[in-house]
């Protein structure tokens, strides 16, 4: 595999500079010679970035391999430009002790084509009653999370934070107050009222964030908030940061580009937390612009086709996103002038690695920014096909991803004359 990328946009040290680059197998180098002598295709409108890092994915193995496997999830990630992911612990067995965790890490070592860092659970069995063997698993986990479930009692969260601080690890919190859910399954907003659905109120999220940030102040724990979706969450975290609290947060592409009036009755619009109002979306966008929101994570959550075919009320929570995160974000945040391309790379690659201390080789990923296409789940490598972005028109197709000196994804379009600016 050999190609020349003419005047490519190359991200390095916070800046994008134009350089002509040669890709030769898994090696990328600056090219200063005569392209007519190389005998390989030449491409324009190419961008080259450090591999992306997603701190919130569900690869479903062990326990639910019919939804996704570490092999399929990591290959889908590579196709999305990712070279590092952090895998959530909603598994069977749950990674709450060394023996259970080893079941997962053995599969990662065998099957993952990129770096995959597992979370350990905060509580045993994610039951929310007593702490997991946090110390026993500390050397093999990136942090602790009970993602999918909020820690319901203040005392237990305080205990978890104190233990995590003593171990030098981070609490990564899914914030959700069960007492406020009231059987809801989409946002408690205008769409729910118009169509007779039960809603999930915003306080179920931001109330626990507010509680936890007070605990962070007293325990000194490093704290990260998963998938924030409400304007109140943004403001609470903004104030906490101004006070010097050690907190970061993430949001997802669907929360930044959609509101509840954009959804429909299909299960591909159902996730937790739900897509909320336009004012929530706008607050999240302001958050990524001013640095309150530190990173974009996908919450890639595959399910079977049957599990997502039951409509809004009955379908499982969760959508896939690892293969669409860059094109959606580039098309609807960068090309619209909301943020710069440099800021997007910070959100997708730089900031996640900094916060989570991920020092593995980032490798690089190559995107054709001029390639416009419609998102078709049938093309996904992921076993999960349920996405709210089905049919959306986007720019930016991944041509190749290299990790640890190996090509972990190469598009068939590399070498196709239809996408070349010049045939040598």
For the chain, the structural domain boundaries read 52-360
- Give pLDDT, residue 419: 35
> Which of the residues in the chain have pLDDT under 70?
415-424
CA dihedral (16, 115, 375, 230) in degrees, to 10, reads: -80
Peptide bond into 93 cis (omega under 30): yes
Q: Residue 180 — φ and ψ, nearest 5°?
A: -105, 5
- Give pLDDT, residue 153: 98
Q: Which two tokens stand for residue 342?
A: 């440099």
R_g of the chain computed on alpha carbons: 21
Q: Which SS3 state, helix, strand or coil, does residue 257 take?
A: helix
170, 133, 172: which is closest to 149 by C-alpha?
Answer: 172
Q: Which two tokens stand for residue 362?
A: 């980032």
- Give pLDDT, residue 284: 99
- Other beta carbons within 10 angstroms of residue 289's beta carbon come to 14
Q: Which SS3 state, helix, strand or coil, does residue 49 take?
A: strand
139 burial via Cβ count (<10 Å: 0-12, 13-18, 19+): exposed
Strand ranges (E), 34-96: 42-43, 46-50, 52-57, 82-87
> How does pLDDT run across 25-39, given as a tens digit for each residue?
999 999 998 887 788
- Give pLDDT, residue 350: 98
Name the superfamily (CATH) of residues 52-360.
Metal-dependent hydrolases (3.20.20.140)
DSSP secondary structure code for residue 7 in this structure? E
- Give pLDDT, residue 415: 63
- Give pLDDT, residue 312: 97
- Give pLDDT, residue 416: 52
DSSP secondary structure code for residue 422 in this structure? B
Which residues are tagged catalytic?
299
Q: Which two tokens stand for residue 202?
A: 């915003």
């Amino acid at each position: 595999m050999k190609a020349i990328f003419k005047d490519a946009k190359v991200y390095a040290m916070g800046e994008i500079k134009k350089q002509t680059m040669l890709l030769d197998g898994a090696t990328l180098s600056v090219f200063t010679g005569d392209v007519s002598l190389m005998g390989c295709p030449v491409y324009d409108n190419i961008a080259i970035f450090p591999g992306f890092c997603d701190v919130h994915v569900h690869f479903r193995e062990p326990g639910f391999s019919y939804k996704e496997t570490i092999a399929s999830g990591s290959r889908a990630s590579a196709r999305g430009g990712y070279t590092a992911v952090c895998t959530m612990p909603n598994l069977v067995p749950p990674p709450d002790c060394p023996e259970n965790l080893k079941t997962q890490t053995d599969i990662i070592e065998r099957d993952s084509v990129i770096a995959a860092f597992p979370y350990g659970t905060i509580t045993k069995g994610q039951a929310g009653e007593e702490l997991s063997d946090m110390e026993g698993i500390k050397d093999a986990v990136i942090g602790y999370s009970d993602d999918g479930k909020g820690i319901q009692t203040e005392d237990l969260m305080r205990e978890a934070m104190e233990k995590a601080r003593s171990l030098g690890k981070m609490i990564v919190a899914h914030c959700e107050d069960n007492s406020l859910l009231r059987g809801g399954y989409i946002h408690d907003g205008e769409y729910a009222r118009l169509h007779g659905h039960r809603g999930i109120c915003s306080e179920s999220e931001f109330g626990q964030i507010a509680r936890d940030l007070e605990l962070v102040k007293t325990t000194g724990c490093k704290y990260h908030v998963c998938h924030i979706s409400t304007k109140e969450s943004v403001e609470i975290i903004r104030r906490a940061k101004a006070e010097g609290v050690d907190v970061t947060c993430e949001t997802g592409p669907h929360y930044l580009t959609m509101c509840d009036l954009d959804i429909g009755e299909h299960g591909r619009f159902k996730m937790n937390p739900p897509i909320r109002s336009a004012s929530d979306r706008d607050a999240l966008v302001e958050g990524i612009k001013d640095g309150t929101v530190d990173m974009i994570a996908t919450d890639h959550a595959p399910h079977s086709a049957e599990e997502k075919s039951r409509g809004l009320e009955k379908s499982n929570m969760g959508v896939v996103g690892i293969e669409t995160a860059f094109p959606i974000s580039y098309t609807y945040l960068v090309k619209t002038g909301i943020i710069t391309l440099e800021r997007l790379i910070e959100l997708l690659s730089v900031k996640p690695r900094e916060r989570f201390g991920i020092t593995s080789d980032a490798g690089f990923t190559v995107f054709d920014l001029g390639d416009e296409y419609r998102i078709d789940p049938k093309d996904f490598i992921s076993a999960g096909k349920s996405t709210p972005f089905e049919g959306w028109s986007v720019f930016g197709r991944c041509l190749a991803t290299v990790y640890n000196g190996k090509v972990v994804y190469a598009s068939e379009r590399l070498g196709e004359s239809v996408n070349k600016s010049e045939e040598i």
